[in-house]
Amino acid sequence: MLVKELEKRLKVFGIIAIIAFCLLTTRLGYLQIIKGEEYKDLAEGNRIRLIPQPAPRGLVFDRNGVLLIGNRPAFSVSVMQITSKEDFENTLLKLGEILGITKEEIDERIKQQNRRSFEPIKIATDVDLTTITKIEEQKVGLTGVIIDTEPIRYYPYKDLATHVLGYVGEINAKELEKKKQEGKDYQIGDIIGKMGIEQCLDEELKGVRGGKRVEVDVKGNLISTQGEVIPTPGNQVKLTIDLKVQQAAENGLVEIMDTISRQYPNAKTGAVVAMDVNTGEILALASKPGFDLNLFAGRMTPEQLNEINNNPLKPYNNRAISSAYPPGSTFKPITALAGLRKGTVTPNEYFYDSGVYYVGRHPFRCWKRTGHGSVNLVDGLKHSCNIVFYEIAMRTGIDDIAVMAREFGLGEKTGIILPGEAQGIVPDTKWKEEAYKKGITRYATWFKGDTANAAIGQGDHLYTPIQLVRMTAAIANGGKVFEPQLVSAIIDNNGQETFRMSPKIVKQASVSQEHLAIIRQGMKAVTSEGGTAGSAFRGFPIQVAGKTGTAQNAHGDNHAWFVGYAPADNPQIAVAVLVEQGGSGSTAAAPVARRVFEAFFNIQSDQAELNLDFNAVE
């Protein structure tokens, strides 16, 4: 019985074992034959890694081929989770200690990049050699830490032309979303221009990223390189900027702010734009303060970033194009031109300036309390006599003045490629009506007093420095209003020019050459002995034509303006200088323009020649 029973019972096992083995074989068949390809691919993804290689961004030069933005090699540290979670956390803690960053910052970086497992996540860029050596020494305990070299943006002149050149940074979620919508090839982790040329020419500069297809073991050690796509560097950009003119503009601003700091302690910001009179090329475009662009390229501490972000002087603001200011007396040539065109004034007419001008019962004063006595239009420009322009404006009417202003490109974007350009305002009767509807002005009616204010560039005018330099260039070149050009040429990797700047005239102001000649005569007188900029240009070997301006500022000291061009009889360069809260155009702005002209014409600058006449208050 027992044997038979045992046999029976063991047969049950036999059957169970057969079933178990059959199930196992079926399972193996499913895993290896049906799911085989899928798992094989996944396993490859396990060990085949695409290591992106960023392309070096294109170099940027000034008009004479001087390097303004380059690249330098820097170490970067990336991590890749290839061990257990706990080991990885320990590695990150250790790495953070060496790099001097907190675990939270690392976690944040990892979260931001949110890559597929087994792909490197960049933790730090521009790591110094000492730190790299430390990591290499402790490599055994730092499984999954990868050290790489990558090109980093380098700005040899630090904060020079901050707002023209711009800075770069890693693409953020918003930018990526936008680029993707435009159908552009951008990825998480890409370096993208965030300001200036870096931003608006990003697609030219960024190049084509390459990559390596490598096989690695679980520790991330390279087994073999299966393929490599060499990155293509970005295109080279040649700007219209002239380094020495740019430097002169910036140094001139700094110099003057320092010189007048006792009288005008709030004069800490300003802008200069210099333009080729005959082509519209921008030779210099400065806005102060700027910041060291290298900070954003490499490793920046949160303190450094906060210092820039929280600076009350707003260093990100490109004052040359993004902020609009009342032009003060630099507007007077427009008023005069409007009067000449309408025939309400002739060059031979003399006005009497007693120091005060009545519009109805309201007294409007000349800046010189005692008055300039008997003055014609040229004298009016030379001395910046308000009375002459009050009278011309009353005869001409605001709307004709506004038309002239618009013909010279005021109150509209100039079309420079830099982002964030402001439009400004040309005030006239229609503007006031609409401004009233929007609640900007108290009245809808345009008063005569408004015309008087507008005549001398006060009141509601708002223009950017780049609009004023373009206006000045148009006065100098016979009324041609250019689109400002900032890029001279773009050269691809084969040395082929893919873009070459050609001057673009936006419009021609309909003014007669005789009328312009009168204005030029007046502007020449401004820089001559006795003119409002006479002391600033005393002894200057080249004849300059210009106009000073002092714009009333409700929030502090007056803004100082100077616009001008040179040589007066064969104009090549126009310049506009703004020193916010600089007091007077004669003392704070004209000397900066002189520095710009010195640089442009290669004239040895002589400190002693810079005459500051604080008594010449406009």
Catalytic center residues = 329
Neighbour-count burial for 259-291, b at 16+ CB within 10 Å, e otherwise: bbeeebeebbbbbbbbbbbbbbbbbbbbbbbbb
Contacts of 81 (CB under 8 A, 6+ apart): 88, 117, 118, 144
Site string for other proteins, 164-203 (x = CB under 8 A): ----------------------------------------
CA distance 555 to 550: 14
Between 143 and 451, name the residue whose CB sits nearer to other proteins.
143
Coil, helix or strand at residue 436: helix
Residue among 312, 323, 315 nearest 295 (CA): 315
The verdict on 141 binding other proteins (CB under 8 A) reads no
Closest CB 74 distance from other proteins, rounded Å:
30
Residue among 257, 252, 308, 311 nearest 284 (CA): 252
Between 143 and 246, name the residue whose CB sits nearer to other proteins.
143
CA distance 111 to 123: 11
CA distance 561 to 313: 19
Between 20 and 208, name the residue whose CB sits nearer to other proteins.
20
Closest CB 144 distance from other proteins, rounded Å:
11
CA distance 512 to 489: 35
Cβ contact 164:418 at 8 Å: yes
Between 47 and 413, name the residue whose CB sits nearer to other proteins.
47
* Span interacting with other proteins, options 5-13, 66-74, 101-109, 205-213, rule CB under 8 A: 5-13
* Span interacting with other proteins, options 2-10, 196-204, 344-352, 497-505, rule CB under 8 A: 2-10
Closest CB 147 distance from other proteins, rounded Å:
20
Between 42 and 313, name the residue whose CB sits nearer to other proteins.
42
DSSP code string of 235-270: PEEEES--HHHHHHHHHHHHHHHHHTTTT-TT---E
Between 33 and 608, name the residue whose CB sits nearer to other proteins.
33
The Cβ of residue 301 has, within 10 Å, a number of other Cβ atoms equal to 10
The verdict on 23 binding other proteins (CB under 8 A) reads yes
DSSP code string of 514-580: HHHHHHHHHHHHHHSTTSTTTTTTTT-SS--EEEEEEE--TTSSPEEEEEEEESTTS--EEEEEEET
Closest CB 28 distance from other proteins, rounded Å:
5
Closest CB 89 distance from other proteins, rounded Å:
11
- Centroid of chain to Cα 504: 22
* Span interacting with other proteins, options 1-9, 197-205, 295-303, 526-534, rule CB under 8 A: 1-9
* Span interacting with other proteins, options 16-24, 419-427, 502-510, 557-565, rule CB under 8 A: 16-24
Closest CB 224 distance from other proteins, rounded Å:
11
Query: Within positions 117 to 136, which residues make up the interface with other proteins, using CB under 8 A?
Result: 117
Site string for other proteins, 76-115 (x = CB under 8 A): -----x--xx--x---------------------------
The verdict on 19 binding other proteins (CB under 8 A) reads no
Cβ contact 189:209 at 8 Å: no
* Span interacting with other proteins, options 15-23, 65-73, 179-187, 282-290, rule CB under 8 A: 15-23
The verdict on 17 binding other proteins (CB under 8 A) reads yes
Between 81 and 485, name the residue whose CB sits nearer to other proteins.
81
The verdict on 47 binding other proteins (CB under 8 A) reads yes
Query: Within positions 212 to 241, which residues make up the interface with other proteins, using CB under 8 A?
Result: 217-219, 223
The verdict on 33 binding other proteins (CB under 8 A) reads yes
The verdict on 2 binding other proteins (CB under 8 A) reads yes
Applying CB under 8 A, the site for other proteins has a residue count of 42
The verdict on 358 binding other proteins (CB under 8 A) reads no
Helix (H) or strand (E) holding 363: strand 362-365
Closest CB 80 distance from other proteins, rounded Å:
11
Closest CB 270 distance from other proteins, rounded Å:
56
Between 223 and 440, name the residue whose CB sits nearer to other proteins.
223
Contacts of 24 (CB under 8 A, 6+ apart): none
Out of 32, 133, 512, 570, name the contact with other proteins by CB under 8 A: 32
Between 89 and 609, name the residue whose CB sits nearer to other proteins.
89
Integer Rg of the chain from CA: 34
Sign of CA dihedral 390, 393, 397, 403: negative
SS3 content of the chain, % helix, strand, coil (to 5): 40, 20, 40
Coil, helix or strand at residue 506: strand
DSSP 131: H
Place of tokens 């790099």: 99
The verdict on 370 binding other proteins (CB under 8 A) reads no
* Span interacting with other proteins, options 11-19, 289-297, 309-317, 593-601, rule CB under 8 A: 11-19
Cβ contact 374:326 at 8 Å: no
Between 145 and 398, name the residue whose CB sits nearer to other proteins.
145
Closest CB 138 distance from other proteins, rounded Å:
19
Q: How far is CA 460 from CA 363, 366, 521, 561, in A?
A: 19, 19, 28, 17
Site residues (vs other proteins, CB under 8 A) = 2-3, 5-7, 9-10, 12-14, 17-18, 20-21, 23-25, 27-29, 31-33, 35-40, 42-43, 46-47, 81, 84-85, 88, 117, 217-219, 223
